[in-house]
Amino acid sequence: MSPGYEYLPHRLLRQQVRDIASGAEGVLMAVVNENVSDSVLHEHWVELAYIRGASGREFTTAITNVEPA
């Protein structure tokens, strides 16, 4: 079984971004290709953006939902 995640480079890292799904804004802290499957036989990988909001709490969204703020 492969590791559960890997970090990916992204042009907006450490920049102010907006999650178009929720409208929330923050700083893009990381982009991670993460295995979210519950099965060893059928892996399901998604690219998640970790965004730190103004409160200091981080939230995730699909990287396709991220745009510059």
| Token output for 61 | 């969204």
pTM summary value: 0.87
Four-CA torsion 50, 47, 3, 13, nearest 10 degrees:
-40
**Could you report the per-residue pLDDT of 17-68, keeping only the tens digit for each?**
999 999 999 999 999 999 988 888 888 999 999 999 999 999 999 999 999 9
pLDDT at position 40 is 80
**Could you report the per-residue pLDDT of 2-30, keeping only the tens digit for each?**
567 899 999 999 999 999 999 999 999 99
pLDDT at position 1 is 43
Rounded to 5 degrees, what are φ and ψ at 64? -70, -15
Residue 40, phi-psi category: left (phi > 0), alpha (psi -120 to 50), beta (remainder): alpha
Domains annotated for the chain, with CATH where assigned, are 5-68 (2.30.30)
Tell me how far apart the alpha carbons of residues 6 and 28 are, in angstroms, rounded to a whole number: 16
